[in-house]
């Protein structure tokens, strides 16, 4: 009888599995669409999916195969063959990319890609034969829709047999975590003949030069049209940072008809042509890009890097199939005089309004990760979501970095790999004998510091990774690291600012004159800190102990402007723009601001990057009389440390966490081991790991955030945010896993309740029969048999049927419903390695005895 039960049970479970595995083509495509929507940072593997959408339609996913660009302004290409031999038509596009990682994407059609590699550097070219642009994307654009009956022709005798995807990675700072990128586009193709064939008309300036500082520069393009009629249905504009507005027109008999006009700083999607425009033989197509060279110190040319410019006006059109041409270009200005009559609207920049930003971003679930540098409103929204979390900063008492043997710790920074970098003074000390009344360094006889002044540490275990900076500096002070890993440091004794390469062996740029204090464009007086704009490369220097100003330099070190003045103590309260030791800088690219720790005025002042215009002050009684350092974390957190209270003051020395937008103090923190004496610098990472360096205590503390998971879950369910913050993503995934667990439990329970009831009924019947026929001995045998069966159902016993493994063996099933959810905290800096390295391996070389003054 037990064998009969097994024979009945196994087909029943197999039938259940078949029911689970069955998907209709519609649900399969829906599942595919949902999957691709969430795979912006995952890879689909080498087998790129081709999904059937019916008898004649299919979807083709074209993605970068998990790449990590090594340097900014990298162009990478990859190709995918058309999966059918016959003619097909592309009727829809769906992008998968974010401006956080991708500057723009182009999709080409051709017959022979430039390489057969998995992917290649686009400097080798895209295609060996003629290529046609099928699609273009930048700045988190929404999907492009083609009109019904219109398609791009591919394959067959005349269409391209390969798709080539080109991805431009502008700023690679988003790849600090070494993740692999799989940006790309999903195509919807059909083999049904389309009566109208789509094409791309590209108008592009190739010789425009933008002089530095020039307010308005026009780039004009115009060509006569000499083909069969075409109908325009979509347009796209493209420039880099200097572009203000791009407009395109059809000119017929002197009449200008607008095709489209848009700000290139808005999402660079293909926008629909509002009023249908047709172009006939001998019409003129004209376009104008308006640029501004303000803020640049050198000429800007048309080129491929983010610091160059581009002037592109793309037009999507369709023609009757028998006359169709798939790609046309215009790169000249056939009639410069005609632009005297261009409509005035072409010269008026389009303001980037908040309602337009919401319109282009707020209603597309797949494009909520927006470009922070241009969408300030979105940055503020993300800030509010992050600040909604309930967390507290506490010292990481297990961190061994407190035992490092250091000199006076003056500067801290995190490099692109998120390693901790320490700038210290070795055996040199800044005391009352270091300078005379004119701020000239008095201890030159000591020579430069012989120890390594720059130490790079593993932030988790404080192990020394590398060291540099021997015999270069006299009195180190400020430290920052740019997006390319270059070290920017100040020396108050030398009165200079240095840019060092990642190896720290030689200076790539030196500002100021060695050992000569001054207050003109070429001299500093004890400069304190440096900040570098990750977008423009502009250099900002806080100068300093004996000057009261912020100076801006171009990326190659040319003086651009300065602002600030000394504080007039007789007035009582310092005015905006006045400094009493501008001691530390925090650059906030999200909001285009530079914040300064105005040390002796006990406050933070924030200014507009482009102009130096004062924006606001952050000042609290708990700061006391001194505020030494400030650090910003993307998402809206500002960290700071204050100084010892003056006699009679009661404010303790502590660290502060603030809401950047409001200036409100969210949290304060102090160390548990030792005590703050003169915390001199602070740096924080996006996961709210904080390091504080103390110039008197000669130590570096590490602090981490402790969060309440239930509070985070409650906030997420309340606000339902979409954010680029890695911690928020983990929390969101945790919630998804919880939801998945609930669904899986209900599904399994529902599917098993019927067979369990049937099985129990059979067992009751057999028990009754065996009790009647065999007596107690039969009871024992029955218990053993039924126990084996139930044990198998529970996944126990040798050779039993484990439900987790049974369902997990089928495609599309996730084990998340069976796995126990993690209940560990979110401290990403927790060291997994319990090895105990010696103190010597973790510390800097001990300082040698100071040489005699002779």
> Mind telling me the catalytic residues?
103-104, 166, 168, 238, 240, 310
- The whole-angstrom separation of Cα 85 and Cα 108 is 18
Q: Minimal CA–CA distance to 293: which of 615, 561, 557, 536?
A: 536
Task: Using CA atoms of 524, 530, 532, 538 in order, give the dihedral in degrees to the nearest 10.
Answer: -10
What's CA 549's distance to the chain center, in Å? 32
Q: How far is CA 162 from CA 185, 498, 681, in A?
A: 14, 50, 55
Q: How far is CA 158 from CA 89, 139, 152, 229, 699, in A?
A: 12, 33, 12, 20, 70
Segments in 520-586 forming alpha helices (H):
none
Of the chain, the end-to-end C-alpha distance in Å amounts to 104
- SS3 label, residue 587: strand
- The whole-angstrom separation of Cα 519 and Cα 564 is 12
Q: Minimal CA–CA distance to 408: which of 691, 678, 644, 656?
A: 678
DSSP letter string, 307-368:
TSB--EEEEEEEEEGGG---EEEE-SBS-GGGGGGS-GGGGSPPP--HHHHHHHHTT-GGG-
Q: Which helix (H) or strand (E) segment is 726 a member of?
A: helix 726-773
* DSSP type of residue 302: B
- SS3 label, residue 562: strand
- Helices 776-793 + 2-21 axis angle, to 10: 20
- The whole-angstrom separation of Cα 368 and Cα 366 is 6
Give 9's contacts (C-beta < 8 A, 6+ positions apart).
755, 759, 789
- The whole-angstrom separation of Cα 360 and Cα 138 is 13
- The whole-angstrom separation of Cα 276 and Cα 297 is 42
Give 184's contacts (C-beta < 8 A, 6+ positions apart).
61, 62, 63, 64, 95, 96, 97, 105, 165, 167
What's CA 769's distance to the chain center, in Å? 70
- The whole-angstrom separation of Cα 287 and Cα 78 is 31
Which pairing describes strands 614-618 and 627-633: parallel, antiparallel, or unpaired? unpaired
């Amino acid at each position: 009888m037990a064998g009969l039960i097994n024979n009945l049970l196994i087909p029943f479970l197999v039938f259940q599995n078949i029911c689970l595995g069955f998907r209709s083509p519609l649900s399969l495509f829906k599942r595919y669409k949902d999957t691709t929507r969430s795979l912006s940072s995952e890879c689909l593997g080498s087998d790129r999916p081709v999904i059937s959408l019916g008898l004649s339609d299919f979807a083709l996913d074209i993605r970068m195969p998990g790449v990590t660009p090594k340097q900014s302004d990298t162009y990478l290409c990859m190709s995918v063959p058309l999966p059918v031999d016959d003619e097909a038509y592309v009727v829809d596009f769906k992008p998968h990319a974010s401006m956080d990682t991708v500057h723009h994407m182009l999709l080409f059609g051709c017959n022979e890609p430039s390489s057969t590699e998995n992917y290649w550097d686009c400097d080798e070219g895209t295609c060996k034969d003629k290529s046609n642009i099928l699609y273009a994307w930048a700045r988190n654009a929404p999907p492009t829709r083609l009109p019904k009956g219109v398609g791009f022709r591919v394959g067959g005798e005349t269409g391209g047999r390969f798709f080539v995807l080109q991805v431009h990675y502008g700023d690679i700072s988003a790849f600090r975590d070494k993740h692999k990128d799989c940006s790309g586009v999903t195509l919807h193709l059909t083999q049904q003949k389309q009566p109208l064939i789509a094409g791309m008309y590209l108008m592009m300036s190739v010789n425009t030069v933008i002089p530095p500082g020039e307010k308005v520069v026009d780039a004009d393009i115009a060509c006569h049209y000499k083909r069969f009629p075409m109908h325009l249905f979509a347009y796209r504009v493209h420039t880099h940072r200097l572009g203000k507005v791009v407009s395109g027109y059809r000119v017929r008999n002197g009449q200008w008809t607008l095709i489209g006009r848009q700000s290139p700083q808005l999402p660079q999607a293909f926008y629909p042509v509002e009023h249908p425009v047709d172009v006939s033989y001998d019409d003129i197509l004209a376009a104008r890009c308006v640029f501004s060279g303000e803020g640049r110190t050198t000429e800007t040319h048309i080129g491929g890097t983010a610091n160059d410019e581009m002037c592109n006006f793309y037009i999507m059109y369709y023609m009757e199939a028998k006359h169709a041409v798939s790609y046309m270009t215009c790169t000249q200005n056939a009639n410069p005089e005609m632009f005297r009559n261009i409509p005035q609207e072409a010269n008026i920049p389009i303001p980037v309004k908040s309602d337009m930003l919401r319109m282009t971003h707020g209603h597309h679930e797949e494009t909520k990760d927006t470009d922070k540098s241009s969408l300030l409103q979105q940055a503020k929204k993300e800030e509010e979501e992050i600040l909604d979390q309930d967390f507290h900063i506490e010292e990481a008492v297990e961190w061994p970095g407190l035992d490092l043997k250091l000199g006076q710790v003056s500067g801290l920074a995190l490099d692109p790999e998120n390693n901790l970098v320490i700038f210290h003074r070795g055996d040199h000390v800044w005391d009352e004998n270091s300078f005379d009344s004119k701020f000239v360094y008095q201890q030159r006889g000591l020579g430069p510091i012989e120890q390594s002044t720059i130490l790079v540490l593993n932030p988790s275990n404080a192990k020394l990774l590398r060291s540099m900076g021997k015999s270069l500096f006299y009195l180190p002070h400020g430290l920052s690291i740019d997006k390319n890993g270059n070290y920017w440091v100040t020396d108050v004794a030398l009165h200079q600012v240095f840019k060092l390469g990642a190896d720290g062996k030689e200076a790539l740029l030196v500002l100021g004159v060695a050992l000569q204090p001054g207050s003109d464009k070429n001299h500093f007086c004890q400069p304190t800190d440096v900040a570098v704009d990750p977008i423009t490369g502009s250099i900002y220097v806080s100068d300093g102990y004996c000057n009261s100003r912020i100076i801006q330099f171009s990326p190659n070190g040319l003086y651009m402007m300065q602002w600030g003045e000394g504080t007039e103590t007789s007035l009582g309260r310092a005015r905006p723009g006045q400094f009493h030791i501008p001691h530390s800088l925090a650059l906030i690219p999200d909001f285009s601001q530079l914040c300064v720790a105005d040390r002796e005025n006990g406050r933070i002042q924030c200014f507009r990057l482009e102009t130096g215009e004062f924006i606001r002050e952050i000042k609290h009684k708990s700061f006391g009389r001194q505020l030494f350092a400030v650090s910003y974390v993307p998402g809206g957190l500002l960290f700071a440390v204050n100084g010892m209270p003056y006699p009679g003051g009661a404010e303790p020395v502590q660290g502060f966490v603030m809401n950047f937008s409001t200036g409100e103090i969210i949290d304060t923190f102090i160390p548990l081991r030792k005590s703050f004496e003169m915390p001199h610098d602070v740096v924080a990472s996006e996961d709210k790991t904080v390091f504080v360096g103390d110039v008197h205590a000669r130590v570096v503390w590490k602090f981490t955030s402790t969060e309440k998971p239930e509070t985070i879950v409650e906030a997420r369910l309340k606000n339902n945010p979409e954010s680029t913050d890695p911690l928020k993503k983990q929390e969101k995934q945790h919630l998804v896993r919880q939801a998945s667990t609930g669904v899986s439990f209900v599904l399994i329970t529902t599917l098993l309740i019927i067979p369990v009831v049937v099985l129990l009924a059979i067992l009751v019947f057999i028990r009754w029969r065996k009790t009647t026929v065999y007596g107690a001995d039969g009871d024992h045998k029955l218990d053993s048999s039924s126990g084996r069966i139930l044990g198998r159902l529970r996944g126990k016993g040798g050779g039993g049927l484990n439900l987790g493994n049974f369902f997990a063996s089928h495609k599309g099933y996730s084990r998340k419903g069976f796995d126990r959810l993690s209940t560990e905290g979110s401290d990403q800096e927790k060291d997994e390695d319990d090895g105990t390295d010696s103190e010597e391996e973790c510390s800097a070389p001990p300082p040698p005895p100071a040489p005699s003054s002779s």
